[in-house]
C-alpha cells in the first residue's frame, strides 16, 4: 500500500514532495538539485509541450535547436545579463583532459548564443522577422531546489525573435503573453494574472518583462511563464543588424519568452488535494481509467465483465483511457492508486453493474460518493467526453473562486501587512523601488506583476501615500 500522504494543511511542502514521488511523477537524482522525470510526469510534460507547440506554430514560429555550451565571452557581452545570471552559472573549464582556452557556460538561457547566430543570418529587412523557438534543457545553480519548481537542470521552451521595429517586437511579446494566458486558463485550468514585471523583477537585460502569475493552493504566487521585450540590448551586444528599405543599417529589436516544467508544479499545487494529484482532463496523460471488478474464482463473471469492457473501449473515440485489469489487487487499492495519480474520471464495472446495464462513473475532482453517478452503458460514448469537459470547467471555476476569495484590496499599509500573510494584495504603488524594497523587507512579499487590466483613475501608494497611477499585485512567492 502507498505511504500515507501528509495533509496539505499540516505541511504543504512535504505534501507536495510526497505526491510527486508517490504518484511517480519525478524523483530525486543522485546529483544534488537535479531530478529524474519519470514516464508519468514526462507524459504530462509532453501534453503541455504539444498544446503550446500548436499555438506557437499557428502564429508562425518554427522550432530549432542551439548548443548547450555557450562561450563565456558571449555571456559577458551584455552587462546586465551577466550580472543577473552570474550566481547561477555552471562553468566548464576542462574538456578532453585539457584546460579550455575559454570557459564554456552550460546554457542557463540562450539569448547570447542565439543572438550571435542571428547576427550571422540576418542581413536585410527581407530576412525579418525571425521567429524561432526551441525545446531544451537548461542549467541554473539553484541553492534551494524543489522538484519541478526550482531544479538545477530543467526542461522548457524558449522563443527568440528578431524584428525590424520596436512596435513589432512589443506586439510579439504581448502575443506570447496572450498565448501563455490562453494555455494556462483553457488547458491547465489555472486562472492567471497577466501583467508587467517591476524593474527589480524583470529579466536581466530586458527592456520590459511580462508574466502570468498564479495562486497556488497555499495562497503563494507562482510565476508560470514570462515574455520579454529585449529592446536592442542584445542586438547591439551581438551586432544583429539589417539593411532597411532605404539602404541604411539598423539594429534589430528582439524578444525572448519561456514556459518550463515549473508549469507541472503549478498544476500540482493549484489542483491537488489530500488524496494526491487532480489533473485537468485536457492535459492528463490518462483521462479515464476503467476498473473491472470481479469476485475471486468467478471465471464466467470475469469473462462477461471483460467483454463489456472491450465494448466500452470501442466507443471511446479520442479519449485517453487505460484498463486496470490487475485482479490480484483489490478494487479499493486500484481506486486509491488512480486517485493518487489524478486521473480525472474512473469507470467501475462489475457483475451487478453488468446485469443492470450500467457503470459507475467517478469524478476525481469530487472525492467520495458525491462524485459518483450511474450511467447506462448505452450512454457512455457521449457521457464520458461531456463529463471530462465539465470537470475541466469546474476545476477552472474552483481555482478562480479560491484565488478571488484570497485576494484582498487593503486600504492602509497596516491592513496590507495583515492580509499579505494570507493571500494576494492588490494595491496602488507609486513606482518607487524604495517602497517595493520596504514591502519585501517587512513582509517577504514582492510585486508579482502590474496587471494588464488597470482600473480608471488614480490614488495613493499603499506604502508611502504618494500619487500612484497603477495597481500592483503583491504576494509571497515560490
pLDDT tens-digit readout, 127-172: 999 999 999 999 999 888 999 999 999 999 999 999 999 999 999 9
Domain count of the chain?
3
**Same domain (yes/no): 448, 367:** no
| 83 or 118, which is more confident | 118
**Same domain (yes/no): 248, 107:** yes
Residue 459, domain member (yes or no): yes
**Same domain (yes/no): 356, 432:** no
Percent of the chain with pLDDT over 90: 93
Q: CA–CA separation, 258 vs 244, rounded Å?
A: 29
Residue 392, domain member (yes or no): no
Q: What is the CATH number of the domain that holds 32?
A: 3.30.930.10
Residue 280, domain member (yes or no): no
**Same domain (yes/no): 242, 314:** no
pLDDT at residue 86, rounded to an integer:
82
Residue 276, domain member (yes or no): no
**Same domain (yes/no): 213, 309:** no
**Same domain (yes/no): 106, 184:** yes
pLDDT at residue 84, rounded to an integer:
72
Computed over every residue of the chain, the mean pLDDT equals 96
Q: CA–CA separation, 112 vs 114, rounded Å?
A: 5
Q: Residue 48 above 80 pLDDT?
A: yes
pLDDT at residue 308, rounded to an integer:
96
**Same domain (yes/no): 227, 353:** no
Q: Residue 412 above 90 pLDDT?
A: yes
Q: Residue 81 above 80 pLDDT?
A: no
Phi, psi for residue 328 in degrees, rounded to 5:
-80, -5
pLDDT at residue 82, rounded to an integer:
66
> Nine-digit cell at 439?
514591502
Q: What is the CATH number of the domain that holds 414?
A: 3.30.110.30
Residue 87, domain member (yes or no): yes
Tens of pLDDT, residue by residue over 159-214, are 999 999 999 999 999 999 999 999 999 999 999 999 999 999 999 889 999 999 99
Q: Residue 1 above 70 pLDDT?
A: no
**Same domain (yes/no): 295, 264:** no
Q: What is the CATH number of the domain that holds 328?
A: 3.40.50.800
Q: Residue 330 above 80 pLDDT?
A: yes
Residue 283, domain member (yes or no): no
Tens of pLDDT, residue by residue over 338-347, are 999 999 999 9
**Same domain (yes/no): 135, 189:** yes
pLDDT at residue 134, rounded to an integer:
98
Last residue of a domain, one of 211, 241, 271: 271
| pLDDT class of 251 with cuts at 50, 70, 90 | very high
Q: What is the distance of C-alpha 43 from the center of its chain?
A: 14
pLDDT at residue 2, rounded to an integer:
65
Could you list the residue range(s) of the whole structural domain that residue 421 is in? 407-475
**Same domain (yes/no): 336, 264:** no
Phi, psi for residue 240 in degrees, rounded to 5:
-85, 100
Nearest to 190 by CA among 477, 398, 416: 398
Q: Can you tell me the mean pLDDT for 93-116? A: 96
Residue 393, domain member (yes or no): no
Q: CA–CA separation, 251 vs 233, rounded Å?
A: 10
Last residue of a domain, one of 332, 359, 387: 387
pLDDT at residue 445, rounded to an integer:
98
DSSP 250-277: EE-EEEEEEEETHHHHHHHHHH-BTTB-
**Same domain (yes/no): 375, 440:** no
Tell me the Ramachandran region of residue 87: left when phi exceeds 0, alpha when psi lies from -120 to 50, beta otherwise: alpha
pLDDT at residue 458, rounded to an integer:
86
Q: Can you tell me the mean pLDDT for 386-406? A: 98
Q: Residue 55 above 90 pLDDT?
A: yes
Grid-cell match 562553468, residue found: 91
**Same domain (yes/no): 191, 243:** yes
Q: Are 52 and 258 in contact (CB under 8 A)?
A: no
Q: What is the distance of C-alpha 380 from the center of its chain?
A: 32
pLDDT at residue 419, rounded to an integer:
97
Q: Residue 3 above 90 pLDDT?
A: no
Residue 411, domain member (yes or no): yes
Amino acid at each position: 500500500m502507498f505511504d500515507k500522504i501528509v495533509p496539505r494543511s499540516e505541511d504543504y511542502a512535504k505534501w507536495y514532495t510526497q505526491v510527486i514521488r508517490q504518484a511517480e511523477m519525478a524523483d530525486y537524482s543522485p546529483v544534488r538539485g537535479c531530478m529524474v522525470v519519470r514516464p508519468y510526469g514526462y507524459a504530462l510534460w509532453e501534453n503541455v509541450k504539444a498544446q503550446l507547440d500548436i499555438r506557437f506554430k499557428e502564429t508562425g514560429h518554427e522550432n530549432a535547436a542551439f548548443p548547450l555550451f555557450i562561450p563565456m565571452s558571449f555571456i559577458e557581452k551584455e552587462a546586465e545579463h551577466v550580472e543577473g545570471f552570474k550566481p547561477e552559472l555552471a562553468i566548464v573549464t576542462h574538456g578532453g583532459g585539457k584546460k579550455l582556452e575559454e570557459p564554456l557556460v552550460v546554457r542557463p538561457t540562450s539569448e547570447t548564443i542565439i543572438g550571435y547566430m542571428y547576427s550571422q543570418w540576418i542581413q536585410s529587412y527581407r530576412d525579418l522577422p525571425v521567429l524561432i523557438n526551441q525545446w531544451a534543457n537548461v542549467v541554473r545553480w539553484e541553492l534551494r531546489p524543489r522538484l519541478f519548481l526550482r531544479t538545477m537542470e530543467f526542461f522548457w521552451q524558449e522563443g527568440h525573435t528578431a524584428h525590424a521595429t520596436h512596435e513589432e517586437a512589443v506586439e510579439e511579446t504581448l502575443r506570447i503573453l496572450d498565448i501563455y494566458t490562453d494555455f494556462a486558463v483553457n488547458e491547465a485550468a489555472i486562472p492567471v494574472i497577466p501583467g508587467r514585471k517591476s524593474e527589480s523583477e524583470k529579466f536581466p537585460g530586458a527592456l520590459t518583462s511580462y508574466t502570468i502569475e498564479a495562486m497556488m493552493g497555499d495562497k503563494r504566487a507562482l510565476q508560470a511563464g514570462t515574455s520579454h521585450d529585449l529592446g536592442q540590448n542584445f542586438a547591439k551586444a551581438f551586432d544583429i543588424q539589417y539593411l532597411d528599405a532605404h539602404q541604411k543599417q539598423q539594429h534589430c529589436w528582439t524578444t525572448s519568452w519561456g514556459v518550463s516544467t515549473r508549469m507541472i508544479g503549478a498544476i500540482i499545487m493549484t489542483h491537488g488535494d489530500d488524496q494526491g494529484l487532480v489533473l485537468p482532463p485536457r492535459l492528463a496523460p490518462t483521462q479515464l481509467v476503467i476498473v473491472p471488478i470481479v469476485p475471486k474464482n468467478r471465471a464466467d463473471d470475469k469473462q462477461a465483465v471483460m467483454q463489456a469492457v472491450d465494448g466500452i473501449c470501442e466507443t471511446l473515440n479520442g479519449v485517453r483511457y487505460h484498463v486496470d485489469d490487475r485482479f490480484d489487487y483489490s478494487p479499493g487499492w486500484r481506486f486509491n492508486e488512480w486517485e493518487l495519480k489524478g486521473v480525472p474520471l474512473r469507470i467501475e464495472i462489475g457483475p451487478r453493474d453488468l446485469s443492470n446495464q450500467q457503470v459507475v462513473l467517478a469524478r476525481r475532482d469530487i472525492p467520495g460518493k458525491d462524485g459518483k453517478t450511474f450511467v447506462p452503458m448505452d450512454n457512455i460514448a457521449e457521457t464520458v467526453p461531456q463529463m471530462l469537459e465539465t470537470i475541466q470547467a469546474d476545476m477552472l471555476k474552483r481555482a478562480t473562486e479560491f484565488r478571488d476569495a484570497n485576494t484582498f484590496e487593503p486600504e492602509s499599509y497596516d491592513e496590507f501587512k495583515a492580509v499579505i500573510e494570507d493571500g494576494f494584495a492588490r494595491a496602488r504603488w507609486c513606482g518607487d523601488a524604495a517602497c517595493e524594497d520596504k514591502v519585501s523587507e517587512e513582509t517577504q512579499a514582492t510585486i508579482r506583476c502590474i496587471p494588464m487590466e488597470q482600473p480608471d483613475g488614480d490614488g495613493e501608494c499603499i506604502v508611502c501615500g504618494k500619487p500612484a497611477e497603477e495597481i500592483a499585485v503583491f504576494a509571497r512567492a515560490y
